[in-house]
Structure 1
Amino acid sequence: MRRLVRIAVVAGMATLPLGAGAVAASAVPSAVDLPTAQPGFRVLPYLQQPGEDSMTLSWVSETDQPGTVTVSGPGLRGKTELTSEPRYLNLMEYTEAELAQEIRGLEQGSWLLSNSNYKHTVTLDGLKADHPYRYTVEQGGQTHSGTFSTGPTSERWQDLRVVAFSDTETEAYGAVEHREWELHPQTGYAEGSAERPGPGSLWAEKYGSTTRYGEFTLRYPMDQQRALVENTQWIEKADPDLMLIAGDLAQGSGYQPAWDEFWRHFAGEYGTLATHTPLITALGNWETYAALNGGYGSDEDRSPAVIARNRYHEYFDTAGDAANPQFKDSYHRVDYGPLTVLTLDSTNGLPDEDADTGMLSGETYSGDDTNLTEARRTTDTQGEFTAENYDGAFTEVFPGTTPEDSDLPNFNPGTEQWAWAEEQLADARERGQIVVVQFHHAAYSNGVHGTPPNHEHADNQSGVAMRVYTPLFEEYGVAAVISGHDEMFERSWVDEDGDGTGFHSYDVGVAADGLRGEQLAKNEAGEYVPIRYNSHSEWTAAADEPELWEVDENGNPQLVDGGLHYGHLQMDLENTRCGAEMTLSPVYLFPVLDENYDLVRTERRVYDDVVTVTLDDDGTPLAGAAECQPGRDTAPGQQK
């Protein structure tokens, strides 16, 4: 049995709530029992920095004993054994506000672990390309065994599978929270469909309801925790080579229980996807948010945002650590056979903008993005704080540094990140790689963050500023761009130079958090209608996949198909006689309910928007729709 330590805390330290149903700190002193640190794993081994001849393994323990990794496979003489050097993660200690937190529906403190974190990282070198390996990690008397495969070479490969989603936004409250489930006001129902259950229905009684744009809105039949369990289980069955998470991993990176919950799903009791599939992650706005520990902070003290970012940095090790040590793993590159994945940091742009204060870079305008001229170009994705405030707080969190040492990069032209991105794109193209780019803030979206801060219907955390990269992406033949942030499932086709080639831009923010529809605004008649700022949008689950309901024998409407659901994007690459093909499949998890609306299971289904991108032998997307003919100078292009 684990011995408990009683820690008395005084509440009132925090003012920002974790979620709509969470209560931060009690008004009176409270106490919580934490387990003492125990030998073994706090976070199971998880894979990072995949390559054709190496792999990195990290894990977290609660005690400071070194761990031992034993790996066997091709190229190794028998079993190779390495010993880890534990490093204490002082940023991961629980705050008084976290210890005092109460969450309606959960026993206080039941989600907390011990207050001790040691990280272990071991890099396995000398491996052979495109081969499986088996490893065992022994930590404090516990063992975990797993497998992984190295990447193929870019010259010799047959097929690859990559899965992507965003906005996992894990938190303890996710175990009891059912998120809003928006219905499109114009295309919500398929022809002949019954209507959703309404106010006072069995559904509303069981899962709750809310109000969106003045309308009654049901809550989804899976809580956030179950949604992520289902999503990762279906992803595991698909057996991808790589897993991309385009930001907003935790519901506040500066809130340690959110990270505890994240690792329970990816390397813990709820799932083990990261123990055999490498994670490639990006920073989102929630990676600069501290939840009940101060949110984004204040102009006087932005240290919560600094601590939040650096909690993320502590968990993840990427090639960015060596390429840009000041910005740590904010942006980085992974080469896996013929595929190059570039991850950018979209969390800050300069000049700073803030719609609330009128601090804008471009002139205010209305309409859709066909009105987006150079004079109206926006420059920032984060209106909640300025880079100057953040940089000043960095020196407070890390004494002995200066604001110039800050880990917060700018993404605009003329910056270090911009130069790095252009250099990597040029190098990948010279090597004939297929290029996928990921970052958090969707540059093309019809969601709530789709309009820039200088728009009539302004958003203060819009991704529109990231469109500054579009010319680079087109010039260097990027095949697809993966983002999140708007918590929709949306695909946009971008061909700004009009040459017939371009890239597909996705919002895949349907991992486990909100299920949002398009951004709406009132028209002259006072009706809420979609703004549809993004003229590049070709498909969204909310608008293009209408719900089909049928009334059962008990008189209750049952969903048969369609609608916006949790899911992920599956990208399948196949080597062809002319180059390669990339098939992008938007997968959704359909909830099968019984007559009482209890969840029976989920079914893996694919929306009617599967896209195939045909790539030349130099990795560039091509226009046209001709079938592959060996010996041709040009290969077929993009086809749907």
Structure 2
Amino acid sequence: MNKAFPAFLAAAVLATPAIVFPVAGDSPSSRASAAETPGQDGFRVLPYLQNPKSDAMTINWISSSETPGKLTLTGPGIGNGKGKGAGNVRTLTSTPEYQPLLDYTDKEKSQVIRGLDQGSWLIQGSNFKHSLTVEGLKPGKEYTYTVEQDGQRHESTFTTAPDQNSWDHVRIVAFSDSETEPQGRTEHREWELSPVNGYAEGSEKRPGAGSVFAEKFGSTTRYGEFTLQYPMNQDTAMKQNMATIEESDPDLMMIAGDLVQGAGYQPAWDEFFGYVAGQHGELASSVPLITALGNWETYAAINGGYGTAADRSPAVISRNKYLAYFDNDGDPANPQYKGSYYRTDHGPVTVLTLDSTNGVPDEDTRTGTLSNPVFSGDDSNLTAENLSTDTQGEFTAADYDSAFTKVFPGTGTGDSDLPNMNPGSAQWEWAQKQLADARAEGRIVLVQFHHAAYSNGVHGTPPNHEFADNQSGTAMRAYSPMFEKYGVAAVIAGHDEMFERSFVDEDGDGAGFHSYDVGVAADGLRGEQLVENAEGAFEPLRFNTRSQWSAAADQPELWETGSNGKPQLIDGGLHYGHLQIDVNRKGAGAEITLSPVYVFPVLDEDYNLVKTERRVYDDVVTLQVDADGTVAG
């Protein structure tokens, strides 16, 4: 991997056992503005890697002008492929393609964000996409590449995937719900505390209303109770999370949806790529991004949200802004879905990324349109007969398809890029075929999608539950028997903005799969869904009986009084972070270690943020894998 870190990472130092990243303090009252924006020419988004294979890599970048760029690649055995060059050097020239959907709207140009200089977050110039796929590469080899664009030069490296039989170690890092936006530079999000297990034994209480902590970082109300806001704003949290990830030197980066705070809102994309291929970090230049669509990838924010029943164009534009950035080999039988669900092979590992953003028949608790009867209690009452069938209660597939023809004149509703996820659908049949193929090849299988099927958060209950959610992921439980049949090791999801692990073994044979909600990238820090009991107090609903661990419920906070008499957080609680997945060869099989990593904010006695530390929650899972790629019983 290229280790030319951005300037803010250069000061990173190692501590034992934590990795420590010094930071500048932040507070909602401080005035923030964007770093200097690029000029009319040059990179708008630095080169980032897509569609990784053992013998090929796609390199994308976005420029502000339509000038062709030049890619120069050096490494073993590439002189015989397409493009000019000989020996171990190859040169290719890009053909820029104008992306009209990525231009700023009038609302974006005139937007006012409290705490930021008006328009300081906007980038000059237009959006021209460059995409070059280099083929004929060797498995498991490092390549150096340089991209020259409008007089600017960017250099990085990447390593191709090893083949299935020649590997020693694979590291994948996963998170969800980064939900980037310019407002994140000043906004501190809610920091929920469990009413059942919020404090460790002997802990002091959190600072309360009127405290220095609350005045510095803000507070809100959750379930009728005073709730502190987190001591890192979203911008600082994302920078520190990405710094921690980059230090771990991953081979792949999985992002299970909700990359941005509304995909139809262009400044949100500018912020996202600033962290992974821009001024704040360059991880995506050397590590391929494996991304999924979330509900926010169908939301346009100030540009119309999900649209209206009469016109769902904002949702169509939002999805297609996402699809403009990301290129993957999807379902060849259904190219209209534009790679929204796809397969990635890396050494012994297969990652299936599914699109969980729509199901049929459509359900909406607000209109009373439900596919199954209402029920209450936990999921022990959830059966095949009352399982919900939709994850999207904001619009119907028919309305989306109709709007698609408005956004893309000359197309028909059958050309729509929106698949559904239900049994018998094209995506379902594709997934089953890929799983069967991966199992026949003896591969370790991970699955990724956005809407967590198993969760005790606010999205954990289905739309036909007494305490309903109309964007619940429970409909994705339809896939669980398929995942068990083909020996999926783990499912990675997000959506509920909490760190949770469930174990699913529907057939009771002891060989199920682990299901994770990793929605702790840099946005909300929500706890379990609470409901009011007969005494008027709020308590966890805990619909998900498969839950084994969550940071909100099982990692109580420990506060101690500092020398100045103020409470200081020592450890525990819900924090931003990611899941680190290590696959190590072990004899004829392998060992998988899943480590829930959190980025702990270290504050001085005046609650100034002075550094963050990489820590690991007390829920590391180790799986033994047989030679056929299945988890040993």
Check whether TM > 0.5: yes
Distance of 2:490 and 2:247 partners within structure 1: 24
Question: Which protein has greater RCO, CA pairs closer than 8 Å, 6+ apart?
Answer: 2
Once the two structures are superposed, the pairs formed by residues 67-146 of structure 1 within 5 Å of their partners are 67-76=69-78, 77-146=87-156
Aligned twin of 1:412: 422
Is the Cα–Cα contact under 8 Å of residues 37 and 63 in structure 1 kept in the other structure?
no
How far has the Cα of 1:35 moved from its partner? 8.0
Read off the aligned partner of 1:239 and give its amino acid letter. Answer: D
Is the Cα–Cα contact under 8 Å of residues 591 and 622 in structure 2 kept in the other structure?
yes
Distance of 1:168 and 1:85 partners within structure 2: 31
Read off the aligned partner of 1:98 and give its amino acid letter. Answer: E
Is the Cα–Cα contact under 8 Å of residues 65 and 125 in structure 2 kept in the other structure?
no
Instruction: Tell me whether 1:619 sits opposite 2:619 in the alignment.
Output: no
Instruction: Tell me whether 1:559 sits opposite 2:569 in the alignment.
Output: yes
Distance of 1:74 and 1:359 partners within structure 2: 59
Distance of 1:607 and 1:255 partners within structure 2: 34
Instruction: Tell me whether 1:39 sits opposite 2:49 in the alignment.
Output: no
Going from structure 1 to structure 2, the CA distance change for 1:36 and 1:559 (only over 3 Å counts) comes to closer
Aligned twin of 1:14: none
How far has the Cα of 1:621 moved from its partner? 1.1
Instruction: Tell me whether 1:312 sits opposite 2:314 in the alignment.
Output: no
2:218 to 203, 208, 227: 208
2:157 to 147, 164, 167: 147
1:475 to 445, 468, 485: 485
Is the Cα–Cα contact under 8 Å of residues 38 and 44 in structure 2 kept in the other structure?
no
Deviations 1:152-172 (CA, angstroms, capped at 9, x unpaired): 110111110000000010000
Aligned twin of 1:438: 448
Distance of 2:116 and 2:589 partners within structure 1: 54
Structure 1 runs of 4+ aligned residues shifted over 3 Å read: 34-37, 321-324
Aligned twin of 2:504: 494
Read off the aligned partner of 1:406 and give its amino acid letter. Answer: S
1:340 to 350, 356, 359: 350
Q: Secondary structure at the match of 2:264?
A: coil
Distance of 1:492 and 1:43 partners within structure 2: 37
Is the Cα–Cα contact under 8 Å of residues 331 and 430 in structure 2 kept in the other structure?
no
Q: Secondary structure at the match of 1:287?
A: helix
Going from structure 1 to structure 2, the CA distance change for 1:36 and 1:551 (only over 3 Å counts) comes to closer
Unmatched tracts of structure 1, length 5 or more: 1-20, 22-33, 624-640
1:159 to 166, 169, 185: 169
Instruction: Tell me whether 1:599 sits opposite 2:576 in the alignment.
Output: no
Instruction: Tell me whether 1:576 sits opposite 2:578 in the alignment.
Output: no
Q: Identity of aligned pairs, percent?
A: 66
How far has the Cα of 1:375 moved from its partner? 2.1
1:324 to 326, 334, 339: 334
Is the Cα–Cα contact under 8 Å of residues 77 and 137 in structure 2 kept in the other structure?
yes
1:48 to 45, 50, 74: 50
Question: TM-score, normalised on structure 1?
Answer: 0.91
How far has the Cα of 1:519 moved from its partner? 0.2
Read off the aligned partner of 1:222 and give its amino acid letter. Answer: M
Is the Cα–Cα contact under 8 Å of residues 37 and 121 in structure 2 kept in the other structure?
no
Read off the aligned partner of 2:519 and give its amino acid letter. Answer: G
Aligned twin of 1:358: 368
How far has the Cα of 1:323 moved from its partner? 5.5
Aligned twin of 1:454: 464
Distance of 1:46 and 1:461 partners within structure 2: 31
Question: TM-score, normalised on structure 2?
Answer: 0.92
Once the two structures are superposed, the pairs formed by residues 220-259 of structure 1 within 5 Å of their partners are 220-259=230-269
How far has the Cα of 1:115 moved from its partner? 4.4
Q: Secondary structure at the match of 2:465?
A: coil
Once the two structures are superposed, the pairs formed by residues 173-212 of structure 1 within 5 Å of their partners are 173-212=183-222
Q: Secondary structure at the match of 1:320?
A: coil
Is the Cα–Cα contact under 8 Å of residues 175 and 223 in structure 1 kept in the other structure?
yes
Q: Secondary structure at the match of 1:103?
A: coil
Distance of 1:176 and 1:231 partners within structure 2: 17
How far has the Cα of 1:403 moved from its partner? 1.1
Is the Cα–Cα contact under 8 Å of residues 182 and 516 in structure 1 kept in the other structure?
yes
Number of equivalenced pairs: 591
Q: Secondary structure at the match of 1:389?
A: helix
Is the Cα–Cα contact under 8 Å of residues 94 and 115 in structure 1 kept in the other structure?
no
Aligned twin of 1:511: 521
Is the Cα–Cα contact under 8 Å of residues 181 and 515 in structure 1 kept in the other structure?
yes
1:401 to 385, 408, 411: 411
Unmatched tracts of structure 2, length 5 or more: 1-27, 29-35, 79-86
Read off the aligned partner of 1:45 and give its amino acid letter. Answer: P
Once the two structures are superposed, the pairs formed by residues 55-70 of structure 1 within 5 Å of their partners are 55-70=57-72
